[in-house]
Amino acid sequence: MYDIIFISYNEPNADKNWLALKSRFPMAKRVHGIKGIHQAHIHAAKQCFTNMIWVVDGDAVILDSFNFDFIADREDFVYVWRSKNPINALEYGYGGVKLFPRLATINMDTSKPDMTTSISNHFKPMPQISNITAFNTDPFNTWKSAFRECVKLSSKVIDRQKNDETDIRLRIWTTVGEDKDYGKFAVLGARAGVEFGISNKNNFSELKKINDFEWLKNKFDKGE
């Protein structure tokens, strides 16, 4: 019904995940290596032709039970499915499959730190789990993913987020999963993300840095 677009940058498992997606859904398309989260999604939307577009992240391992067969009742909504976190077992929209209105994606507000909420004022979380977000592939990518998510959660830049729910997720991100593969780096990244998010809560120019992967790599290498 809708175009499927796989967006990857430098995720170590992206090629494997792409081949798995393509084997089940041969018409899926891929955008790779576009610098900037917002810019990558704008570029992806321009490669599609349906009014709504499915977006799959490069580190997403799609579950066999997920079939991309949902039909939107509103084409001005952003729909976000749940994903399972392999380190702390959280299940919510972080890293999940998304269904975006194509034109709104092309015309999104690129000034917002959180890309998903830059597209529409209408947001609908979906109850089904679409994938595992396999971000724990190496020390940097694990740290980076946890850092970015916890900056967004702790700075409250995600529109319509529920504070009690957010606080629970932050507690789990910063305390659970050190025994998992690269789990130590997830916890370290989460704690650093909370510190950065709180200290820059009202400073969008600083918060936007979480979408600059070179800045993130430099921060990681310095052990900040």
DSSP 109-123: -TTSS-SGGGS-S-E
Assigned token pair, 64:
């066999």
Domain end residue (candidates: 118, 133, 148): 133
Q: Let me know whether 157 and 107 are in one domain.
A: no
Sequence-distant (6+) residues with CB within 8 A of 196 are: 147, 151, 206
CATH number for the domain spanning 18: value is 3.90.550.10
DSSP assignments along 136-155, one per residue: -SSHHHHHHHHHHHHHHHHH
Please give the Cα distance from 148 to 141 (Å, whole number): 11
CA distance 74 to 51: 11
Q: In DSSP terms, which residues pair with 79 in a beta bridge?
A: 99, 124
CA 210/CA 157 separation, integer angstroms: 12
SS3 label, residue 4: strand
Between CA 19 and CA 187 the distance in angstroms is 30
- State the total domains in the chain: 2
Q: What is the pLDDT of residue 129?
A: 98
8 and 80 inside one domain: yes
Domain edge (last residue) among 133, 159, 185: 133
Report pLDDT for 154: 95
Q: Which of 26, 19, 80, 30 is nearest to 52 (CA)?
A: 80
What pLDDT was estimated at residue 158?
66
User: Which pLDDT score is estimated for 160?
Assistant: 63
- The C-alpha atoms of residue 222 and residue 43 are separated, in whole angstroms, by 32
**Co-location of 30 and 103 in the same domain:** yes
Same domain, 56 and 128: yes
The runs of H, that is alpha helices, within the chain are 14-24, 37-46, 102-106, 139-155, 163-175, 183-199, 204-207, 213-221
**Same-domain check for residues 97 and 150:** no
168 and 112 both lie in a single domain: no
User: What is the chain's pLDDT, residue by residue, as a tens digit (224 residues)?
Assistant: 999 999 999 899 999 999 999 999 999 999 999 998 999 999 999 999 999 999 999 999 999 999 999 999 999 999 999 999 999 999 999 999 999 999 999 999 888 877 787 798 899 999 999 999 999 999 999 999 999 999 999 998 765 667 899 999 999 999 999 999 999 999 999 999 999 999 999 898 999 999 999 999 999 999 87
Do 205 and 102 sit in the same domain of this protein? no
Which residues span the domain enclosing 201?
139-221
Residues 148, 152, 158: CA angle, nearest 5 degrees:
140
Is 28:91 a contact under the CB 8 Å cutoff? no
State which of 85, 112, 133 marks the end of a domain. 133
Same domain, 115 and 182: no
| Pairing between β-strand 78-84 and β-strand 52-57 as defined by DSSP bridges | unpaired
pLDDT tens per residue, range 128-175: 999 999 999 999 999 999 999 999 999 987 656 678 999 999 999 999
Both 114 and 148 in a single domain? no
> Looking up tokens 């992240």, which residue turns up?
57
Q: Do 111 and 32 reside in the same domain of the chain?
A: yes
Closest CA to 135 of 222, 12, 20, 223: 12
Task: Answer yes or no: do 103 and 162 share one domain.
Answer: no
- pLDDT > 70: what percent of the chain? 98
Do residues 100 and 18 share a domain?
yes
